[in-house]
Every structure is written in structure tokens, then in C-alpha cells.
Chains A and B, each alone.
Chain A
Amino acid sequence: MAETKEISIGDVGARANTYQDELQGEDMAINVGPSHPTTHGVLRLLMHLDGDVITKCDPILGYLHRGDEKIAENMTYNQFVPYTDRLDYIAPLANNVTYALAVEKLAGLEVPPRCAAIRVLVTEMARLSSHLLGIGVYGMDAGAWTPFMYTFTEREKLYSLFEELTGARFTTSYTRIGGVSRDVPDGWLKKVTDFCDQFLPILEETQKLLTRNRIFMDRTEGIGVITKKDALAYGITGPNLRAAGVDLDLRKDRPYLGYEQYDFDVPIGTTGDCYDRYLVRLEEMRQSVRIIRQVIKSFPDGAWYAEDAKKIFAPRKGKVMTSMEELIQNFMIVTEGPRMPAGEVYFEAENPKGILGFFLVSKGGGVPYRMKIRAPSFCNLSILSKIVPGHYLSDITVLLGSLDFVMGECDR
């Protein structure tokens, strides 16, 4: 039973004076999460409050830890593709692509242009889908329901396109080492173009609800400022880093998948506050649409998987059933995994949430000896204990919303 103290209510000013010693400067510890709508998953923040001001913040993670790295050491490279869906489950296609690129780097394998184009296309669509959710729930965190309805409707349309391409709306598992699971269906590219055409006006409408919204601006401007120096020191990446004014986008700086052929701009923030992070995500969506249009315009013909990589990419089903050699190949790839050389590689790609990296140690054969997943959300959250103190408790909602993290990826 908690101890209670009775205070006679008289003059408010006098009361504050009398009880000053007892009521002020009292430290209160509260938990936000692990199951709280603000924390977008299962993040728990243990905070110490002085009145309404946070003095200390200790993020506690691990509620969604599934041991993905241990699991990866116990299965073949291809078998791990579905697990990558469950890292950043807001943009599974982007994870699929980054993982496949990391393993292909280990194998020294180049995918043909058509495959690269498909991968760029799905990565950018995943980015749209991730930022749509990011901005939608961010608005909701700040008290604006309507933008969420707009953005979620658009995400539904994207999901339908994913479903037509991959067979699944959410956990796509689309890439294979050395290719993708299937070519784009007939008429699908036209549907993507149609989606882009109708998407931009809706995006404009959505941003009109937020960008100059007095309440939204009051709640986000000057809140959760991440300085350039801090952002670099804490290894913040993605839109959160760019909002702090650092021009780092691996699509531009270390192009992969032929990103250098596409013309797009990298939006950079100036102050690094919650409002800037919103603006950067908004602009990135427009740029993603630009990239998608260019990819479709110059969509290459030819093979959509690495045909010469016979020990890595499983042969087509039709051939497996009719030809002995392909049957053996298929059997070897399924049972032992793709044949990989020994070595160490580290590959990073610009994912919607930030830079996703895979560090692979191979001793040869079809199973990685060690795989480390560098999760952007994990690094982005590590700055919380630095930037949260000094804010009001009510700022936590927008601050967390603006960081746009996913616990599936953070806890792995």
C-alpha cells in the first residue's frame, strides 16, 4: 500500500510554498512500454521525471529478440531469405534485396541488368511503403488521424502490387541468391506507373494536412534536435541522419544495383529536429517516385537471374522435372545450399530506415559461419538516452514517431 499524505487546500501559492521541499525535486521513475502505442512495437523506456521534465532515459530492448543471427548460422543462405522479411517488416522487400546483395558480394556474383532493375523498383516501392507508414503514424502520434487514413490507403495499393509480384502482401521473401523468385508479371509495370500517377496528388493532399499544420509544427519544431556531430558519433543513418544535415546516401555515395544511372536528389535537413525528419521523409517519397518512373522507362530485357551461376541459383522448375543435370543441381542447392567461397564481406545498403548492413564470415559451403546484421533501428535508438533528457513527457510521442524505428529489426 502506497503511503499517502493529506494536504489541506487553501491558497495555491501558499500551499506550494509550504510544501516546496516535499513536492519539488522529487524523482519519479516511469515506464513507457514495452506495450504502448507510442513505442511502435515493444520498446520500453525507463524514464526519470522531475515534474513533467525527463531527466534520464534508459531504453530497454530485447522483447522481440528471436536470435536471427544464431538461426542464420544453422541454415543455408537461401533459407534465410524469409527471416529477412521479419527484420524491418514495414519494408520486407528492401531487406530481401540487401541480404541477397550481401551474399552475392561474397560469391562475387553480378546479377543481370533486368534483375537489378527489378530490385531497384521493389526497393523504392518498399521505401514508399515504409515512409507512408512512418509519416502516417507520426501524424497520428501528434494527434492527426486523417493523414494516417490517406497514407494507409496508399499502402494498401502498394501491397496489392507486391501481392501480384511476389505472391504475398506482407512477408514477400522475393529475392534469391543470384536473382529473384519470379519475373515481373505481364502488365504489372503499367500498374506501377498508374499507381505513381495517382499517388503524387494524394501525397500533396496528405502533406497539406501536416506540413503547415499549426498544431503539428508546434509539437515538432525544435523538438528532439540531433546535431550533426551527435548523429555521426552515434552512427545514426538514413533519413534521421540526413535531417541532421549530413549528406550521406549510399545510393549516391557508393552506388549499388546501378543506382548511378538514375537521376534523383537527396533531401537534407538543416536543424535535425522532429519537423525536419518529417520533411526529409516526405521529399524522399517524391524522389522514390522519380526513380520508379525512370526504372520503368528504361526497363531492360533479358534474363532476370544469373544464368551462369549454376551452383548458386536453383534452376527453373520446368527444367528440374525434365532434365537430369538440372535435377541434380536443384537437389544440391536445396539440400546443401548455394556453393560459396570462403571469406569475409561486409555489405551495406540504404534501406528506408537507414543503413542496413550484413557482415558475413564464410568458411565455404552453403551455410554462413557467422552473420551479423547491422540494424539501422538499433543504432538510431542508441541516441535516445542522449537526446530525450530535457524534454517534456508529452514530447516522447512525437520524438519516437519521428525516429521511425522498427523493433523487429532492432532486436533481431
Chain B
Amino acid sequence: MDFKKAAQLASCISKNYAEDMFRLLTTYQSISASEAASRLNLHIRTVQDFLGELYEQDILSREEVYEGKRPYFRYTLIAERIVIDIDLVKFRKEGEIIHEEAGVKIREKKNSDARFTTSRSNDYISHVVIWQGEGRSRTERKINLSIPQGRFMFHLPFPTAQALTISEIMHKAGLDGAHMPEIADIIRVLIGFGVIEEVKFA
């Protein structure tokens, strides 16, 4: 299931009236928003939105009914179970794909205006402070690094040095492949802040 879709569904079923709504939907053959609203003593707009979201999630079907002047929808429950299934491993793979498969080398960006604080043991960076904005609106953003991330940053090539692939830097830092996802994550963040630059090679 797409993460965004799962988040919408989770948000929908987390409403305090959701259980009552599902009880109605399982009891009635089909039900309109006004019927459900009057039954649960809710505002019709609230119920319309809720049913609309379930329809978009393919949990309900709807039929447009013409009674009198204004058409309206009658909703029917078509799903017997709701399963939220998110593949978390996919995120990890996305991180690896961005940098390893795209054939990208990285190094620190020149004049990045970031401040690096080294750990007491002097073998990893404990946090990076980045300045954002100009003048009075200038703000400080501090990013605390995990120890593998800090080790990676410690061995990141300097701005004028030859850029290296992530694997090469991880090797220098003595990190194994298990740390790749968190390394890829911090790289993405620091590229976004202009602290790391990607150097494309042929």
C-alpha cells in the first residue's frame, strides 16, 4: 500500500465517530450521508467527508440517487476487512538507489557555512549546525548525527578533494552496508541544506 494512502486511511479510521460509522455501514444495505448524520447526531458535512474518503479508499461504493430535485449519494460497504500494509523496506531501497545506482560521488560543498562539531574522541562528527536565511531572519538548524553518520561525515572528502562514492567513504570510515540507509538519509538531508554536493561522473 502506498504510504500516503495508508496515512489517509489511518487518519480516517482514527476519528472518534469512525467505529459508529462502520457499525452503521455494516448494518445498512446502503446509507446516505444525511441518514447517517441524523442517526449519529453529527453534522452532515462531517459525515459526507468521512464517507467520501472511504469511497476514495475503495472501501465503499456509491450510487447517485435522484429523489425530488437534488441528487445525492447512497453508500454501500464493499470491503469486509481493512488492512493497512506498508512496506518499510522500500524506503531503505529508495535511499540506496538514489546514490549508489545513480552513480554519484559526493564531497563537502565549498563555502557551505555549516559548523561541524567533533566528538570528544575526535573520530566522528557529533552534530552539524547549519545557518539558514539572511539577516534577522537567520536561524540555526542543528542536526545531531548517529555515530555511524558521524563517522561517515568525518571521512567525507573536503570541498577541494576528489569526490568519492558513498561506499568508498563508508569503507574509509570502517562502516558496513547495514548502515547504508541512515547514511543515505543524512546525505539527502545535507544535500538539501547545501552542505554536501554531488559530483556526477561519466
Q: Do A and B come from one complex?
A: no
List the interface of chain A (C-beta within 8 A of B).
none
